[in-house]
Structure 1
Amino acid sequence: MPAKLERSAKALSWLSTLSLWLAGAGLVVMTAIVAWQVFCRYVLNDSPSWTEPGAVMLMSWFIFLGAAVGVRENYHMGFDVLLYVMPKGGKAWLRMISDIVAFAFGIGMVWYGSQLVMLTWNTTLPSLRISGGWDYVPLVAGGTLICLFSLERMVLRLAGQPIDDILDELPPAEVAAELDTAKVKA
């Protein structure tokens, strides 16, 4: 792998890991906020107004960060059914099309998300006392990461890197399920 590709792959790997950790931390914090809200509502009979919008905003962050990591790790939607019957060369083209679609979707997230941020930036979320634009920043951040990660996959594939080889060795999901069931019965 050329040095520039290797450096960018390491940087994007670090960014992906950071995104995954932030998403996980967001999930834990959101769970704690919801638990606090339930405790306050049913035990103290006084629910804080910031808990629900705060939890929803954290949920937006971990969903979009997790989705971006899913694109990098090839867990996004693709042409899986066709991949089982295609020759290896055709599989590469279908995976490239899938990455192009993910990239286009990421661009749409950034474009329309940015418009929503700009439209709502001068409003205030009363319960959190922050700009309403922060509701849509996770959409832009997730879209940016989806673009980066899908572009990385396309560049690596075009550079001849074997990013799909391990996927071609995996059995179809139905066969894998039958193999797993056979191991359980044995």
Structure 2
Amino acid sequence: MRGLIDLGFKGLEGLLVLLLAAMVVMVFGNVVLRYLFDTGIDVSEELSRFLFVWLTFIGAVVVARENAHLGVETLVTRLGAGGRKLCMVLSDVVIIACCAVFFWGTWQQAGINATNYAPITEISMLWIYGVGFFTSIGMGLMALARILRVVTGRIDEHELKAFAGEYGDDEAHALKERLE
């Protein structure tokens, strides 16, 4: 199961690369066309904005898995394993609550967005704003899985250290502590 999840996230990372490459080609192509011929491709402007939205929200899910979102580790680094686990569970409960609000808001707007269309491509705006479903479900499930790992005692020591902002090896952490 773990291998399948890892493969899925590798696929998401590949999708991020494709979205970024497509954005670069479209934006750079438009810059060249405007510079050389005083014209541009309107579709590429609109699509690059839509791809940026998807890139941002898919990236947020990938980064959440790596525990690389901004955090305030000042207190958590000073706590022992029990305190870190408590803070981890509390923060994941808040994340799940935020994901639920985000999902509910996306759900409430889905009907309106389904009937609104982009001015140039005429794509239903649900395809753009519907990324909220993916993001809220993805991040919410990861937070729920981490809570379950903490409660069942299957939390990894490395994951607990990463949560506290200790990303390096033990020697680097010891050096950091000596310098403080």
Determine if the TM-score, normalized by the shorter chain, exceeds 0.5. Answer: yes
1:4 aligns to what?
none
| 1:165, distance to aligned residue in structure 2 (A) | 3.3
SS of equivalent residue, structure 2 residue 88:
helix
1:132–1:89 distance in 2 versus 1, CA, 3 Å: same
TM-score, length of structure 2 as denominator length? 0.82
1:3 aligns to what?
none
Verify: 1:39 aligned to 2:32, yes or no.
Answer: yes
2:62 aligns to what?
69
1:122 aligns to what?
115
CA distance in 1, matches of 2:21, 2:83: 42
CA distance in 2, matches of 1:137, 1:100: 23
Q: How many residues align?
A: 171
| 1:80, distance to aligned residue in structure 2 (A) | 1.0
Q: Which runs of 5+ in 1 are unaligned?
A: 1-6, 181-186
2:78 aligns to what?
85
SS of equivalent residue, structure 2 residue 12:
helix
Verify: 1:165 aligned to 2:158, yes or no.
Answer: yes
TM-score, length of structure 1 as denominator length? 0.80
| 1:176, distance to aligned residue in structure 2 (A) | 5.5
What CA RMSD, in Å, does the superposition of the two structures yield over aligned residues? 2.6
1:133 aligns to what?
126
1:150 aligns to what?
143
| 1:67, distance to aligned residue in structure 2 (A) | 0.6
Residues 144-186 of structure 1 deviation map (CA, whole Å, 9 limit, x = unaligned): 21112222222222222233435438379xx959x69xxxxxx
CA distance in 2, matches of 1:24, 1:99: 28
Percent of paired sites with the same residue: 24
Displacement over 4 Å in runs of 4+: none
1:127–1:117 distance in 2 versus 1, CA, 3 Å: same
| 1:99, distance to aligned residue in structure 2 (A) | 1.7
After TM superposition, list the pairs within 5 Å mapping 1:165-184 onto structure 2.
165-168=158-161, 170=166
In the alignment, which of 96, 100, 107 is matched to residue 100 of structure 2?
107
Q: Which runs of 5+ in 2 are unaligned?
A: none
